[in-house]
Amino acid sequence: MYSREIDGKTLTLVPSGWTYERTFVLYDRETESLWYPYENGLMGIQGVFFQRWLPKLDADDTRWQEWRAKYPQTKIMD
C-alpha cells in the first residue's frame, strides 16, 4: 500500500496497462505520471513527478477471519 499524497495533492492511481520486469506500472489520473513500485515506495518514472516518491505505508496482509478477530468492530459496506 502506498501514499497517494504529494505536494498537497491526492492522486488517483490506476493501472497503466504497461508492465516492466513482470510488474505493473501505475499512472495517476491527475498528471498522467507513471509510477513503478520499489521496496520503499512508488517512484515516478515519467511525467510531472519524475524521480519523486510516494512512500510505502504499513499494511496488514491477512485473512478475513483473522482481521475480524483482531478488529471486531469492522463493518462491511454493501
What digits encode the pLDDT tens for the residues 24-74? 999 999 999 999 999 999 999 999 999 999 999 998 889 999 999 999 999
> Residue 20 CA to chain centroid, in angstroms?
16
Distance CA 17, CA 9 (A): 24
Within a 13 Å sphere around the CA of 57, how many CA atoms are in the beta-carbon half? Answer: 8
pTM for this one? 0.78
Segments making up each domain of the chain, as ranges: 5-70
Distance CA 49, CA 44 (A): 5
Reading the block at residue 70, the C-alpha cell is 483482531
